[in-house]
Amino acid sequence: MKVYMSVDIEGITGVVHGDMMMSTEREYDRGRKLMTGDANAAIEGLIQAGATDILVSDGHGPMRNILIEDLHPAARLMTGAGEARDACQLEGADSERFDAAVFIGYHAMAKTPRAVHPHTIAGAAVAELRINGRPHGETGLNAAILGSFGIPVIMVTGDTATVAEARAFLGDDIETVAVKEARGRNAAICRPPAATGPEIREAAARALSNLSRARVYAPERPLRLEVDFLTMQQCDRAARVAGVERLGPVTLLVPGDDPWQQYQTLWAALRNALYEPAGWLG
């Protein structure tokens, strides 16, 4: 069995503050180590349940956070800058046929209260993302895109808000592990890796063992994929990407019949939105 694993950092065991999330900050190396640890725990559980191949996609910020020298040898790692990827957190998901997917260290969507660093894909640009009129975060969006390939998401880990979000979109049968309870954007009641690691491993094993009961998340198609930006200037830049339609001062529509192509167009638009032109260009 082949499993696709997408890993973020905000929902990782013990990670609560931006200084553990970005390469320029003083506790980043701690965050990377903890991120690798949660991924390894999930890999171990998947192997126990019969996984024969696991592709791990590093899906946070610089997208080269996971320490490959410490990664479980049974896995392969998709790593490298987001600007070099066409499919953001799901790079490589179309490269072969995967039987299931797991999301490790995920976070709640933008505007979620009592969550560690809630945002949707690009917190500096996205105010809200909607599929068919319903706000989605990365959990729902990525599950819908993988669902278009027939790949069910069988497990999600993160804080308590993320777990609740995953169940709201993917159903109560999905395996989840809440590694912390957020008290605010930069604070949470955390359990140590010695406690969360075994839970992640056991949940991953159960999830894959019960694959026959897994459901694909499949919103009605064609997907009406809309994004609201924080500023009009960001929307201006995003609107220059081919394949999008501008609906208002800060709103774009990403039309299409192919969710995978829509996802790639969305990512291209977000990269444009985040790009600030050189000062000498005015």
Q: Which residues are annotated as a binding site?
A: 8, 10, 60, 107, 138
The answer to whether the beta carbons of residues 262 and 239 sit under 8 Å apart is no
Q: How far apart are CA 34 and CA 202, in angstroms?
A: 18
Ranges of H-type helices in 112-221: 138-147, 160-170, 193-209
Which is the catalytic residue, given 17, 72, 117, 119? 119
CA distance 185 to 84: 30
* Backbone φ and ψ of 207, nearest 5°: -60, -45
Distance CA 217, CA 231 (A): 31
Q: Are 28 and 76 in contact (CB under 8 A)?
A: no
**Residue whose structure tokens are 């969006």:** 141
Torsion of Cα atoms, 236 then 242 then 247 then 248, to 10°: 0
**Residue 74 has which token pair?**
């049974």
- Whether 119 is catalytic is yes
Query: Looking at the chain, how many residues does it have?
Result: 282
Which segments are annotated as binding site for Zn(2+)? 8, 10, 60, 107, 138
Is the Cβ–Cβ distance between 167 and 178 less than 8 Å? no
Q: Find residue 77's DSSP bridge partners.
A: 56
The token duo for 111 is 């505007």
Alpha carbons 221 and 225: distance in angstroms, whole number: 10
DSSP, res 250? S
Which residues are identified as catalytic? 119
